[in-house]
Homo-oligomer: A and B are copies of this chain.
Amino acid sequence: MSKPILHSYFRSSTSYRLRIALNLKGVEATYKAHHLRHGEQRADAYLALNPQGLVPSLELEDGTVLTQSMAIIEYLDETIPEPPLLPQGAVRRAQARAMAQMIACEIHPVNNLRVLTYLKTGFGADDAAVANWFRHWVATTFEPLESLLAARQEKTRFCFGDTPGLADICLVAQVANNRRFDVDMTPYPVISAINEACMELEVFQKAAPAAQPDAE
């Protein structure tokens, strides 16, 4: 039987999100690596699948190509309802999506490889200036994220309840990304505890960058 193809790069945190979601849903996918630092995602064959030239993409069995990690995760949640990646109730679902989007729309986009490269080539930023930029945008959003998580009425093991979901997926991928720039996690005890709770689970461990076939 054919399987979907996961177009990924081990170090890409958006690919990491999708790998976690696939594992949580029990979907087996064929792993196809695209080395971002070698520009492999800009090859014609891949651009024909995903004209943005970004990873991840999920190529379904019928050839349909889905793009954008957050949209693909919602697709998985709609087509494979168990276990749910969003909580019950419209308000809580909105809160979970908002928490995920704090990372997906505020931190990751300004800190991805192509943006950091522009800072160097366009503004002559050195490694220290790039690291400051990265850490600035993490802190700008992790501070309110930590407050929101600390203020939850129910101090659940994961962001929303006793099973991991969309917000946890984004949180874990961002925390891993933070290590590349030595982000001090001391100010974020709740985020750190949720990250640790996730990383105790095999589905998260198997999705980690170091566990991928293209890991260096």
Contacts and interface: CB of A to CB of B under 8 A. Distances in A.
Interface of A: 51-53, 60, 64, 66-68, 70-72, 74-75, 78-79, 90-91, 93-95, 97-98, 100-102, 104-106, 108-110, 114-115, 118-119, 122-125, 129, 132-133, 136, 140-141, 143-144, 147-148
A94 B71 CA distance: 5
How many copies of this chain does one complex carry?
2
Nearest to A119: B123
Contacts of A93: 74-75, 78
- Majority SS of interface residues in chain A? helix
A72 B52 contact: no
Contact of A75 (B75, B91, B105, B109): B91
A71 B105 CA distance: 11
Contact of A72 (B53, B94, B104): B94
Contact of A51 (B68, B125, B147): B147
A74 B102 CA distance: 15
A75 B51 contact: no
Contacts of A70: 97, 101, 105
* Closest A-B pairs by Cβ, 7 of them: A109-B109, A71-B97, A51-B144, A75-B94, A68-B98, A123-B123, A71-B98
